Amino acid sequence: MFGKVIKGLFGSSSASEPKTKASPPVLYDGFEIIAEPRPAGGQWQVAGHIEKDIDGERKVHVFVRADTMPTSDEAAEHTVRKAKLLIDQQGPALFG
C-alpha cells in the first residue's frame, strides 16, 4: 500500500510504456538539432532542442509542438523539419 502511494507521488513507468529516445544531432547552418519525440496517447509528439555555441557559451532552445505522429521515427523526422524552419526564421534570435 505504501509503495503505491510513493509511486503515485513520484510517478512510475511501466515496462510497456514507450520510452523517449534522443536521435543523433543533425547539423544545420551551424546549429545542432536534437529530436526527442515524446509518447503522447499512443502517438509520438514532436519535440526536441536546438543548440549553438554563441560567444563561447552553449545556448539551448527547447521546443514541443502539438503535432503527433504514429511512430517515433516519423516524429523525429518532423522535429528536424520544424527545427530547420525555426532556424531559418529566427536564427540566433531563437535564444534571446
Q: Domain with 75 in it: what CATH number?
A: 3.30.160
| pLDDT grade for 15, boundaries at 50, 70 and 90 | very low
pLDDT digits (tens, 9 = 90+) for 32-86: 999 999 999 999 999 999 999 999 999 999 999 999 999 999 999 999 999 999 9
Instruction: Give domain status of residue 8, yes or no.
Output: no
Identify the domain containing residue 67 by its residue range. 14-95
Q: What are phi and psi of 73, to 5 degrees?
A: -65, -40
| pLDDT grade for 88, boundaries at 50, 70 and 90 | very high
Q: What would the grid cell of residue 17 be?
A: 510504456
Q: What are phi and psi of 89, to 5 degrees?
A: -80, -40
Instruction: Give domain status of residue 19, yes or no.
Output: yes
Rounded Cα–Cα distance for residues 26 and 24 (Å): 7
Domain count for the chain = 1
Confidence at residue 96, expressed as pLDDT on a 0 to 100 scale? 83
pLDDT at position 23 over 90: no
